[in-house]
Amino acid sequence: MATGDLTRIRTNISALNALNALQNINSQLTQTNLRLATGKRINSSGDDPAGLSLANTLDLRARKVAMAERNVGGAQNVLDVVEGGLTNLNELLSSMQEKIVLAANDTQGVSERSAIMSEINQLASEVDSVVGQTQFNGIQLLTINTMTFQVGPDGTAVNVYSIGQRLDSVGLAVSALTVATQALASASLNSVQISIDSLKTILQAAGSTIKRLRVRSDNLNTMELNLRGAHSRIMDADLASEQLNSAKLSILQQTATAQLAAANSAPASILALFR
């Protein structure tokens, strides 16, 4: 800080020092008040260039993680629909088995077996109906297809679920059943059991994928929370600290103003030499 001599009044060094201090305090107070108003520690790139760059990187990562979490939720919804359709198919096949077991008993006559066969055919038609109606966003889910879900913020984080066989009445071998005789009913019973076992395997795979997606969702949620926390620590202002700083700077502003006024009037004392 420059020092001045009161006997040299052309340049008032003391007043300039006080003015410089006041301007510096005003600048700090303006920045503090802006932080209090916006709640942000960094309001321009000049406040903290490196911090702003890191905060932007964290924010982008958090947003990508949030979208991946949304994708996981969508994938869970799809597989919930798949699970519901598979459960319905399993129930239909179980009902068909019950009817076939009833028809396999020789106490049933021709007319009784014919009535049972009609019920079985109706159930087989309902299998096709369930397959056709199990859709998500216009996509039939119980056909031979592969679904790839983007479940991470990077392109390599994907989850693949596939169904490798037809699940309609033809694919499940229930479109041409017959219970005309006890032997044929027993053969049909075995055919339906094979289809039920196949459905169990597919349902188990769907359940395993759903469980994996739940774990992935929890992991992404935790990841997003941590990223948001790191971003907040860089970008958000500590309002309690800023309020204390504002109070301190307001007092300093008043004292600096008073000192500037005193420094401006100090050279007047030199007039006493000319009396």
Give tens-digit pLDDT for 8-22: 666 788 888 889 999
Q: How many CB atoms lie within 10 A of CB 52?
A: 18
Q: Specify the residue for token string 């913020």.
A: 153
The residue type at 173: A
Q: For residue 19, what are the contacts with CB-CB under 8 A and spacing of at least 6? A: 260
Spans of the chain below 50 pLDDT: none
Amino acid 97: pLDDT: 93
DSSP code of residue 178: -
Amino acid 60: pLDDT: 96
Amino acid 180: pLDDT: 87
Kindly write down the DSSP assignment for every residue of 28-67, as one continuous string.
HHHHHHHHHHH-BS-SSTTT-HHHHHHHHHHHHHHHHHHH
The CATH number assigned to the domain with range 49-234 reads 1.20.1330.10
Nearest Cα to 152, choosing from 101, 105, 216, 100? 216
pTM: 0.79
Q: What are the boundaries of each domain within the chain?
A: 49-234
Encoding tokens for residue 34?
A: 């802006």
Amino acid 274: pLDDT: 67
- Contact (CB, 8 A) for 193 and 177: no
Q: Is 166 exposed, middle or buried (0-12, 13-18, 19+ CB in 10 A)?
A: middle
- Contact (CB, 8 A) for 180 and 115: no
